Amino acid sequence: MEIIRLRDDYIKLGQALKASGLADSGVDAKIAIQDGLVRVNGEICTMRGKKLVDGDMVEFNGEKVKIEGRRL
């Protein structure tokens, strides 16, 4: 499982897919999200701009990515 550590309060879903390497480009991320292939916390999500925060889990293509908050 990949872990993305937040630099800010949140990361958008499309950016998270790119940052984790699950999508090669923003276009690939957009298509996967619009086609309903991405789940956030177990639910299909079709909003590319969905804000992910600490504790959220993203699933795509059998891979999982966990979002973790900033370390203080």
pLDDT in tens, 6-35: 999 999 999 999 999 999 999 999 999 999
pLDDT at 72 over 70: no
pTM: 0.90
CB 71 within 8 A of CB 5: yes
Tell me, what's the pLDDT at 21? 94
Domain 2-68 class in CATH:
alpha beta
Q: Where are the domains of the chain?
A: 2-68
How far the first Cα of the chain sits from its last, in Å, is 23
Say what percent of the chain tops pLDDT 90. Answer: 93
Characterize the bridge pairing of strands 63-68 and 38-40.
unpaired
Query: 33: part of which helix (H) or strand (E)?
Result: helix 26-34
Helix 13-20 vs helix 26-34: crossing angle, to nearest 10 = 120
Task: Give CA 66 to chain center in angstroms.
Answer: 8
- For position 70, what pLDDT does the model report? 76
